[in-house]
Every structure is written in structure tokens, then in C-alpha cells.
Structure 1
């Protein structure tokens, strides 16, 4: 298991900046997994990441009901919300495999992929678990594959 870093997120703006810092290092074929209970800031982090790749005023709705939103950026990014999936195979039906062929994926509720999400995603995965921390949040960040080295200079 790679080493994990803890990053305090005192407010939504800092959470969005973490997303932007991740975006600056994101490459095609990589996945960002966002764990945490409802209301922890997963969508805020994803929005910060996507806006850093597209434009600051990009409309980035939560894909809770659509399950996935695709964005033209460099690299292309797909934002998945797997909360409503009932079985892991449904992720393939909504384009998770294809999203990683040419671009990257930000995935909320990756636990819906089963006990081994990495089996779906390839070796280069960044995991961010959000939890309560005083009046704000705490991001516990770990990386596998290429992300293991990229974490060393990840600053918010």
C-alpha cells in the first residue's frame, strides 16, 4: 500500500484548489477515486479539477442522475458518480473503459466498482478519501503507479 498524505481542507475553496492541483498532474489513462460520505465535498473537489482542465466558469453539475458527464479538455475528462449503480458491471455500460482509453476519469463512489476498483482502472490511480476534520474536511491522499511519485509535490 503506498504512503498516504493528509491534507486539511478548511473550506470549499481549499477543496477546489486540491482538485486544481490534481488536474495539473493528471494524464490520459489515469483515474481519481473520490471516497467519503454524502456532503463531504467530493463534487466540490471534482468541480475544481474539471474547471482547472477546462475553464474557471465551466458548468460542472454533479452527475448523480446522469451518472457521467464528459468534458473536452486536455486531457479529456469524464466525471462519474456511481452512487446509483447496483452492480459493478454497469460502470462498463456507461463508458468507464472508454473514458480511460483517451482521457482520464474522476469517480465519485468508486466502492460501487467492487472490492478491487483498480481491476477496472489500470495501474495509475489517485485515491482521495474525504472525512470530517473540525469545522472542515481532511483529504487522505494516496497514489498507485505514476501517482505514487506525483504525490511528493502535490500542494494546495
Structure 2
């Protein structure tokens, strides 16, 4: 997927004008924070996990990591990250640009970690390793079609 596809996806939500593109990489939390001029915690990283025959996406703040005990308590199994190839297959986005928007596989569920609720806006990727979109947590929830907010992370 490309930034243009994500912009088209966000258009019905009135959010396409909130996409920012950079001349530098934003593929990691640190790079994205530097490119956007924000603290790393405000970067909304999208993590992808294998669940049986499908996948789930967990969007969390940049200063949080998935807690394995919480993951197992919520999903009933040990967390297993997707391979880079599987990430593209399930999400349509390459690692570094993975976001919870315009996901071609309708079986992929999106969950949002409560760690992001402490910020007025968060910045998930927008389909490339040099883009983001500035959203309120409520806008992120609406546009991502998130299944629910969960408490699955610990701050690092």
C-alpha cells in the first residue's frame, strides 16, 4: 500500500488532510519522532501478531511494549510476531510503514492499547516508511475500525 491509498482510505473520515510526508525515514519510533518533531511516546506503533489462520494488529504508544503475560491473558496464547513477508500479506503494508488503515484482509482485527489515551494526538504511520497521520485517539479508533481498547502493554 502507499500513502496515496491511505489518504484515499482516510478521506471518508475527513482525515486525509492530516497525513504528513517526510523527506527522511520515519520507519522506527525514534526516526518518526525526530521527523515529526514530537516525543517518541506520541508515535503510535502498529505491531502485528499471528493468531491461528489470521493476524491481529496492536497499536500502542512509542514508549510501550507488549507485556507477554497480559497478551496471553487476553488472547489465550503466547505472542508470535508476523514475519516481514506475512506483515505485507495480512496488512498490505511493509515493515516501517505498517498502520491500521486500509487493511486488505478483513479477518485482521485491530486493537488499541490504552497507553495512547494520555495524549491529545498520536501519530501512526500512513502506509510508508516516511509518513504519518496526526490523529486524536478517538479519530484513530474510528478510522482503524478497532475492535476495542485494551491494556496489554507496559511502559519502557
User: One fold, TM greater than 0.5?
Assistant: no
TM-score by length of 1: 0.30
